[in-house]
């Protein structure tokens, strides 16, 4: 039920289809019961050779006889009460009162039966055949029509359920996608791409299966059971009540089944997520795997995960396989409990056993056959219901996983009363910044701070190179500017405004980032250049593409700038992708431009050309360049160099000054020079 509560807002939007499918399901149940009830007149015709007209006449006469008998009995008991001596014992008086009450109830029952039989005879006698064989033909034709009507309503019901479920899946998938886009970079990184893909694919598929079962089997089959039970109670409510003794036992067993299946299903889905992780890692690192000959290790690792998933799936299948036999045994036991006393009463022509009245009168073979047919009609929907129950519990586990993603909160908090942030014109200030990268909860490992009490001021229009060894905190520092994450302690201000107190969209509109791993989209070169700046003038796009030599390599393709770059830009080299990313960033006209190892995939000559072009496009903006490569061209355009080590700024100033005063910078610069000469 908790899963349905979570889905309620989405199901409410398709309530029209659900109401229609419920009405169709009710009709299916009615037609199902009607088909079973037709077994009674069929038995009458085949075994006793009666026509329906003769049967109705006989039943009317029986009802008249029973009504007269019960009326006489009630009058007799009432007369005894009237003539009773006032001094008679209270027990005798109570006994007579009970007899009177029983006689009056029997009179009322037979009176209703007489009224119904009389009405039915008047309505049907004019067109019912008088002979047995024409009656049989009529009954079989009626059975065919009922079956046809049931088939049409089943078709309608399944179509309405399908529309409702697919519409719900579209809304839910869209809601998940929108929610993911609102999460922060750190939260998404901790969740991981394979985990997210599993939620969007496998988990949603399982949830859709569960909704289809709920809208179909879990509505139709209980309604069929309810309609058949009503018919059973009409035929003989005492024997039917007796058969329901097995219901509490079934509820107990399936309650335990449900908990175990849901728990096992959750573990199986987690195992599927690890398989997605294996696939994603293998495909993403395919070149590395081939280069190092790791095919066997990856195959073995994948086989282990497959084996774990197989074992968990088999555990679910074993529990699933128990559901149908259990249902059949319980249903058969319930039917036997009801039918054995019924058979005894038919054979002995009695209406009670051991003094317990189980029928209004002696049962005949047709009534027992009808009860037997109805009990058998209970078995089919009960078996189907048991078969879908494990699948529904599995989808319930999938629903929990889907909504756990939707309940994931972003780590970035934004003030409702945010402060407007004009275009950056003054300075950027990092004040006593401390930040530690979070880890997944299951790892529970402490990590050293990536930034430790960092303070730095950068004036507007300044071009600053940030250098240092691996893990020194360079990229972490610049990633605080677009609020990919917030510092644990300290304040980051742009023009005196704390970035946490302004609107996130306004902040990021002023910033453009060119990362080391350039991400291109499966579109044309031109569309990738304009990505995020769709209204950029064509002449500006052409000028920047020329300045950064994008047009030079694009002209080698038949379609020029309209050439598709392929998935993740695989048709282009790393340097070509970096050039596109630089043009894309400058087209936004950012007030703050961040180049995070943006030239790492470019040769020295191309890097020189890019920095020369950048020198003409860095006016009226602050430029932060994270780099390992301190070339002469780069040093010409930077105003200051910031040196970082172990999450701290150990020095900053001009290049020549740092060579004299900072040993770490001097060693870093010397190592790069030696590497450049060796190359």
pLDDT at 291: 66
| Residue 624 pLDDT exceeds 90 | yes
| Residue 593 pLDDT exceeds 70 | yes
User: How far from the centroid of its chain's Cα atoms is residue 111's Cα?
Assistant: 56
Q: Tell me: the pLDDT tens digits for 631-667?
A: 888 888 888 999 998 889 998 988 888 888 888 888 8
Angle subtended at Cα 373 by Cα 367 and Cα 376, rounded to the nearest 5 degrees: 145
Higher pLDDT, 386 or 171: 171
Higher pLDDT, 233 or 131: 233
SS3 76: helix
Higher pLDDT, 299 or 460: 460
pLDDT at 622: 92
- Contact criterion met (CB below 8 Å) for 370 and 39: yes
Q: Give the count of beta carbons closer than 10 Å to the beta carbon of residue 317.
A: 12
Length of the chain: 679
pLDDT at 575: 79
- DSSP class per residue in 113-169: HHHHHHHHHHHHTTTS-SSHHHHHHHHHHHHHHHHHHHHHHHHHHHHHHHHHHHHHH
597: left (phi over 0), alpha (psi -120 to 50) or beta: left
What are the tokens at 23?
């009405």
Residue keyed to tokens 């917030």: 486
| Residue 181 pLDDT exceeds 60 | yes
Q: Which helix (H) or strand (E) holds 428?
A: strand 427-435
pLDDT at 136: 74
Q: Give the count of beta carbons closer than 10 Å to the beta carbon of residue 394.
A: 24
Q: Select, from the ranges 409-413, 606-610, 655-659, the one with the highest average predicted confidence (pLDDT).
A: 655-659
Band (49; pLDDT cuts 50, 70, 90): low
Angle between the 538-547 and 574-587 helix axes, to the nearest 10 degrees?
140
* Residue-averaged pLDDT of the chain: 81
Higher pLDDT, 341 or 630: 630
pTM of the entire structure?
0.71
| Rounded average pLDDT over 353-371 | 68
- Distance (Å, rounded) from C-alpha 264 to C-alpha 448? 37
- Contact criterion met (CB below 8 Å) for 13 and 170: no
Pairing mode of beta strands 497-498, 489-494: antiparallel
Lowest mean pLDDT among 243-257, 294-308, 630-644: 243-257
Alpha-carbon distance values, 556 to 13, 331, 551, 561 (Å): 52, 76, 9, 10
- Contact criterion met (CB below 8 Å) for 646 and 452: yes
Q: Tell me: the pLDDT tens digits for 123-150?
A: 776 676 766 677 777 778 888 898 899 8
Q: What percent of the chain has pLDDT over 70?
A: 87
* Domains defined for the chain, CATH in brackets: 2-51+129-406 (1.20.1560.10), 421-460+467-510+624-632+645-679 (3.40.50.300)
Residue keyed to tokens 């009802």: 63
Q: Give the count of beta carbons closer than 10 Å to the beta carbon of residue 363.
A: 25
| Residue 598 pLDDT exceeds 90 | no
- Contact criterion met (CB below 8 Å) for 57 and 249: no
| Residue 555 pLDDT exceeds 90 | no
What are the tokens at 487?
């510092």
| Residue 677 pLDDT exceeds 70 | no
| Rounded average pLDDT over 7-28 | 89
What are the tokens at 608?
């020189």
Q: Which residues contact 265 (CB under 8 A, 6 or more apart)?
A: 206, 316, 393, 394, 396, 397, 398
User: How far from the centroid of its chain's Cα atoms is residue 216's Cα?
Assistant: 18
- Distance (Å, rounded) from C-alpha 279 to C-alpha 557? 33
């Amino acid at each position: 039920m908790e899963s349905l509560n979570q889905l309620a807002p989405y199901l409410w939007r398709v309530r029209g289809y659900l109401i229609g499918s419920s009405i169709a399901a009710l009709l299916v149940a009615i037609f199902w019961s009607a088909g079973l009830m037709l077994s009674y007149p069929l038995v009458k015709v085949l075994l006793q050779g009666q026509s329906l007209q003769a049967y109705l006449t006989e039943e009317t006469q029986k009802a008249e006889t029973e009504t007269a008998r019960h009326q006489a009995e009630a009058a007799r008991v009432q007369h005894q009460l009237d003539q009773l001596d006032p001094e008679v014992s209270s027990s005798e008086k109570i006994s007579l009162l009970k007899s009177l009450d029983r006689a009056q109830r029997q009179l009322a029952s037979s009176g209703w039966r007489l009224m119904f039989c009389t009405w039915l005879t008047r309505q049907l006698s004019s067109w019912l055949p008088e002979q047995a064989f024409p009656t049989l033909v009529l009954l079989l034709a009626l059975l065919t029509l009922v079956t046809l009507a049931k088939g049409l309503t089943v078709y309608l019901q399944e179509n309405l359920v399908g529309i409702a479920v697919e519409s719900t899946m579209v809304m839910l998938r869209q809601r998940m996608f929108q929610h993911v886009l609102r999460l922060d970079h750190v939260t998404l990184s901790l969740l991981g791409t394979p985990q997210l893909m599993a939620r969007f694919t496998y988990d949603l598929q399982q949830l859709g299966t569960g909704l289809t079962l709920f809208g179909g089997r879990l509505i139709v089959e209980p309604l069929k059971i309810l309609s058949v039970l009503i018919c059973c109670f009409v035929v003989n409510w005492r024997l039917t009540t007796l058969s329901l003794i097995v219901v509490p036992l079934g509820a107990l067993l399936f309650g335990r089944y449900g908990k175990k299946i849901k728990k096992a299903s959750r573990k199986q889905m987690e195992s599927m997520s690890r398989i997605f992780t294996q696939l994603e890692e293998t495909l993403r690192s395919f070149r590395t795997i081939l280069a190092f000959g790791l095919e066997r290790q990856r195959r073995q690792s994948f086989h282990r995960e497959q084996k774990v998933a197989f074992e968990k799936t088999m555990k679910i299948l074993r529990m699933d396989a128990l559901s149908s036999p259990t249902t059949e045994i319980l249903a058969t036991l319930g039917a036997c409990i009801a039918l054995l006393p019924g058979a005894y009463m038919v054979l002995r022509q009695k209406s009670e056993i051991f003094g317990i009245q189980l029928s209004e009168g002696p049962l005949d073979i047709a009534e027992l056959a009808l009860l037997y047919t109805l009990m058998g009609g209970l078995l089919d929907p009960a078996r189907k219901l048991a078969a879908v129950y494990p699948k529904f519990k599995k989808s319930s586990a999938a629903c929990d996983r889907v909504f756990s993603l939707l309940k994931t909160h972003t780590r970035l908090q934004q003030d409702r009363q945010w402060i407007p942030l004009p275009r950056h014109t003054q300075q950027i200030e990092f004040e006593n910044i401390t930040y530690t990268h979070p880890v997944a909860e299951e790892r529970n490992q402490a990590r050293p701070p990536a930034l430790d009490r960092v303070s730095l001021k950068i004036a507007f229009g300044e071009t600053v190179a940030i250098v240092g060894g691996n893990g020194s905190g360079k990229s972490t520092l610049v990633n605080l500017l677009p609020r990919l994450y917030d510092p644990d302690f300290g304040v980051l201000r742009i023009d005196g405004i704390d970035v946490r107190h302004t609107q996130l969209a306004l902040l990021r509109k002023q910033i453009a980032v060119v990362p080391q791993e350039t991400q291109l989209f499966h579109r044309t070169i031109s569309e990738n250049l304009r990505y995020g700046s769709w209204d950029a003038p064509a002449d500006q796009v052409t000028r920047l593409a020329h300045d950064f030599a994008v047009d030079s390599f694009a002209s080698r393709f038949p379609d020029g700038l309209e050439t598709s770059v392929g998935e993740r830009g695989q048709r282009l080299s790393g340097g070509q992708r970096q050039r596109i990313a630089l043009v894309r960033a400058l087209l936004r006209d950012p007030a703050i431009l961040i180049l995070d190892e943006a030239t790492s995939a470019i040769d020295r000559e191309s890097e020189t050309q890019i920095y020369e072009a950048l020198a003409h496009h860095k006016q009226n903006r602050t430029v932060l360049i994270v780099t390992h490569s301190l070339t002469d061209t780069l040093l010409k355009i930077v105003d200051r160099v910031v040196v970082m080590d172990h999450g701290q700024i150990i020095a900053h100033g001009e290049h020549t000054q740092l060579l004299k005063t900072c040993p770490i910078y001097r060693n870093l610069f010397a190592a790069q020079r030696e590497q450049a000469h060796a190359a």
